[in-house]
């Protein structure tokens, strides 16, 4: 079946929404944060640990799985769910972000994008048709249209041309899309330009997709501009379809963009930060390597219900990270992912109670009020 999104409630004073998303592999509530499992694994974590932190859906990367182990091998395994032993929903990105991060501008054309494989230097061409073909084989619940993610800053002329290319790629991808169990999302681009965001959203909706993503954010722009990009996009997206803000996972950005009408988020930041010894707390982000934690036998957070916070002290976590033990990154990853998912759970309660603006105010006071690296 295709996904089914149900809009349950819209908050009175903001654009925040409460919803449910039903997939072949389960139903989850929105707003929701998606942990990123780039190579069919969320770094250092088992699927059991992902379930324990209440992950509703995870994301995997089309580009990386195309190169290794290959879409054909994943298909022979019975699809991505069976291959990685995850029985919950999965969203696969299109490889479009690699346009932004790996390709040279001269290698982007209307045909597609030329890459050098980061594994062996092989010359590759990723087209919108091939991106969809790969995702059809991966058999995720949600596939993404292939798009060009434009960096910040970019000229309006270039963004306008890129927008037309993304729309053309979306049409071409939809034509070849042929997995009846899978849903396909379109992506809004348009940079920081309000009129281009409006045009992109209106035109992508005309093509018709099962859900819609807002792309081209978190690419170097200041936070206030990111929020405007979302504000320029969401009014033109249908209320009965889920909205996904791509690559955004800073705690305050999740809160601000839920207020602006976004339903799901993803980001590599919780596991990446964990590998470098950083942890989220209600009173800001901390670096557990700091010498002040050497004899601190309290938990990371008394308010957190994750396994890490219930079982280990800051002193022990610091020891693991300083000693470069994998367990340290694993325990901090459990905590950081749970922290972001708990924020979305709290936001759902705030939407129900019409208190999301008060929630934001209290969060900012606590998270940025202390002497921590989040300021």
Question: pLDDT tens for residues 329-355?
Answer: 999 999 999 999 999 999 999 999 999
Helix intervals (H) in 260-355: 269-275, 307-311, 314-322, 326-353
* Run of H or E residues at 64: helix 62-67
Average pLDDT rounded to a whole number, residues 257-280:
98
Distance, in Å, from the CA atom of 100 to the CA atom of 111, rounded to the nearest integer, reads 16
pLDDT tier at 99, thresholds 50, 70, 90:
low
For residue 373, tell me if it sits in a domain.
Answer: no
Lowest mean pLDDT among 90-94, 137-141, 148-152, 278-282: 148-152
The mean pLDDT value for 140-153 works out to 95
- The closest alpha carbon to 137, from 110, 177, 102, 172, belongs to 177
**From CA 57, how far away is CA 24, in angstroms rounded?**
12
Is the pLDDT at 224 greater than 70? The verdict is yes
Q: Does 206 lie in the same domain as 81? A: yes
Same domain, 239 and 337: no
266's enclosing H/E stretch is strand 264-267
Least confident of 75-84, 92-101, 238-247, 337-346: 92-101
pLDDT reading at 370 higher than 70: no
Q: Read off the pLDDT band of 97 (50, 70, 90).
A: confident
195-206 burial, b at 16+ Cβ within 10 Å, e below that, comes to ebbbbbbebbbe
Q: For 104-118, what is the mean pLDDT?
A: 90
pLDDT at 264 over 60: yes
The predicted pLDDT at position 115 comes to 83
216 and 76 within one domain: yes
Is residue 88 domain-resident? Answer: yes
pTM: 0.97
Q: Please tell me the predicted confidence (pLDDT) of residue 371.
A: 53
Q: What is the pLDDT of residues 303-326, one digit of tens each?
A: 999 999 999 999 999 999 999 999
Of 267, 297, 330, the last residue of a domain is 267
- Same structural domain, 322 and 206: no
Residue range 124-131: mean pLDDT, rounded? 95
Residue 98: what pLDDT? 77
- Residues 198 and 303 both lie in one domain: no
Please tell me the predicted confidence (pLDDT) of residue 96: 83
Q: 30 and 89, same structural domain?
A: yes
| Residue 140 region by backbone torsions, left for phi larger than 0, else alpha for psi between -120 and 50, else beta | beta
Name the band, by pLDDT with cuts 50, 70 and 90, for residue 375. low
Q: How far apart are CA 196 and CA 201, in angstroms?
A: 8
Please give the pLDDT value at position 105.
84
Residue 250: active-site member: no
Q: In whole angstroms, what is the distance from residue 220 CA to residue 226 CA?
A: 9
Domain containing 195 equals 4-267
**Considering the chain, what is the average pLDDT of its residues?**
96
Judge if 219 and 82 occupy the same domain: yes
Q: Report the CATH number at residue 86.
A: 3.20.20.105
Q: Is the predicted pLDDT of residue 368 greater than 60, yes or no?
A: yes
Domain final residue pick, 236, 267, 298? 267
CA distance 74 to 87: 15
Residue of 15, 147, 263, 266 with catalytic role: 266
Query: Count of domains in the chain?
Result: 2
Same domain, 198 and 321: no
Residue 286 has pLDDT above 80, yes or no: yes
- pLDDT classification of 34: cutoffs 50, 70, 90: very high
Domain end position, chosen among 231, 251, 267 = 267
Residue of 15, 93, 141, 253 with catalytic role: 93
The answer on 231 and 89 residing in a single domain is yes
Taking only the tens place, the pLDDT of each residue in 163-184 is: 999 999 999 999 999 999 999 9
Cis peptide before 69 (omega within 30 of 0): yes
Does 212 fall in a domain? yes
In the structure, what pLDDT confidence band is assigned to residue 189 with cuts at 50, 70 and 90?
A: very high
CA distances from 264 to 139, 214, 247, 292 (A): 20, 10, 10, 36
The verdict on whether 168 is a catalytic residue reads no
């Amino acid at each position: 079946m295709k996904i089914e999104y149900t809009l349950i409630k819209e908050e009175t004073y903001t654009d925040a929404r409460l919803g449910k998303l039903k997939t072949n592999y389960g139903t989850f509530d929105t707003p929701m944060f998606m942990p990123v499992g780039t190579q069919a694994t969320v770094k250092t974590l088992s699927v059991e640990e992902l379930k324990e932190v209440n992950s509703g859906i995870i994301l995997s990367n089309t580009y990386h799985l195309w190169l290794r182990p290959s879409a054909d091998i994943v298909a022979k395994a019975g699809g991505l769910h069976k291959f990685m032993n995850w029985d919950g929903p999965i969203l696969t990105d299109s490889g479009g972000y690699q346009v932004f991060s790996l390709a040279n501008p001269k290698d982007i054309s209307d045909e597609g994008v030329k890459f050098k494989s980061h594994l062996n230097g092989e010359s590759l061409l990723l087209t919108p048709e091939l991106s969809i073909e790969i995702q059809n084989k991966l058999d995720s619940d949600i596939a993404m249209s292939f798009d060009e993610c434009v960096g910040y800053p970019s000229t309006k002329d270039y963004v306008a041309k890129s927008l037309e290319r993304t729309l053309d790629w979306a049409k071409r991808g939809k034509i070849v899309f042929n997995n009846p169990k899978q849903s396909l999302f379109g992506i809004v681009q348009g940079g920081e330009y309000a009129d281009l965001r409006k045009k992109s959203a209106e035109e992508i909706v005309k093509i018709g997709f099962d859900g819609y993503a807002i792309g081209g954010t978190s690419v170097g722009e200041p936070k206030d501009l990111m929020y405007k990009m979302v504000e320029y996009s969401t009014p033109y997206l249908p209320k009965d379809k889920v909205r996904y803000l791509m690559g955004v996972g800073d705690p305050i950005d999740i809160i601000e963009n839920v207020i602006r009408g976004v339903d799901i988020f993803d980001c590599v930041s919780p596991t990446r930060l964990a590998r470098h010894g950083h942890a989220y707390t209600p009173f800001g982000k901390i670096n557990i390597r700091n010498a002040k934690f050497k004899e601190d036998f309290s938990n990371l957070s008394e308010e957190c219900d994750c396994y890490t916070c219930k079982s280990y002290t800051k002193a022990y976590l610091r020891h693991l990270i300083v000693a470069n033990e994998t367990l340290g990154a694993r325990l901090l990853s459990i905590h950081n992912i749970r922290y972001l998912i708990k924020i979305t759970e709290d936001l759902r309660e705030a939407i129900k109670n019409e208190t999301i603006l008060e929630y934001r105010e209290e969060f900012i006071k606590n998270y940025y009020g202390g002497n921590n690296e989040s300021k």
